[in-house]
Amino acid sequence: MSTKRKSNEEAGTSSTSKRGAPVQSKLFKDPIHDYIEVHGAALLIIDTPQFQRLRHIKQLSTVHYVYPGANGTRFDHSLGVYHLAGKLVRCLKDKQPELGLNRRRLSLCGVGRALP
């Protein structure tokens, strides 16, 4: 079962659904990549207080004073990196099967659950 949330400020704070069942994936709204689905161990990491702290650290430092629309955080950046790493791995798996990439090997990279 997947929970779908439309605001990244709301998502990523609990690993249980309203009924108390464990959540296996969550969707985060991202300003660049639209929706990012996060699975398994990555979701458990995102739910830690240490990772949630990234929501309050600006990625672009004082750039927002010159460009008010530049409001990225380290949290947004980290989700984007997770998403792009998953896309890269899927592409490598499809185009270079001789690499022998599978979920077990990729779980070491933290993107194994991003595979279809």
Number of folded domains that form the chain: 1
Edge-first strand order for the sheet with 34-39 is 2-4, 25-30, 34-39
User: Does residue 37 sit within a domain?
Assistant: yes
Question: Residue 88: in which H helix or E strand, if any?
Answer: helix 74-95
What stretches in the chain show pLDDT beneath 70? 1-21, 107-116
User: Does residue 96 sit within a domain?
Assistant: no
Distance CA 67, CA 80 (A): 21
pLDDT tens digits along 77-105:
999 988 898 888 888 888 998 988 877 77
CATH code, domain with 68: 1.10.3210.10
Residue 116: what pLDDT?
45
Report the number of secondary-structure helices (H) and strands (E) in the chain: 4, 3
- What secondary structure letter does DSSP report for 90? H
**Neighbour-count burial for 5-25, b at 16+ CB within 10 Å, e otherwise:** eeebeebbeeeeeeeeeebee
pTM equals 0.71
Q: Which domain holds residue 16?
A: 2-87
User: Does residue 68 sit within a domain?
Assistant: yes
Residue 20: what pLDDT?
64
**Neighbouring-strand partners of residue 2:** 25
Residue 75: what pLDDT?
92
Distance CA 77, CA 55 (A): 10
User: Does residue 95 sit within a domain?
Assistant: no
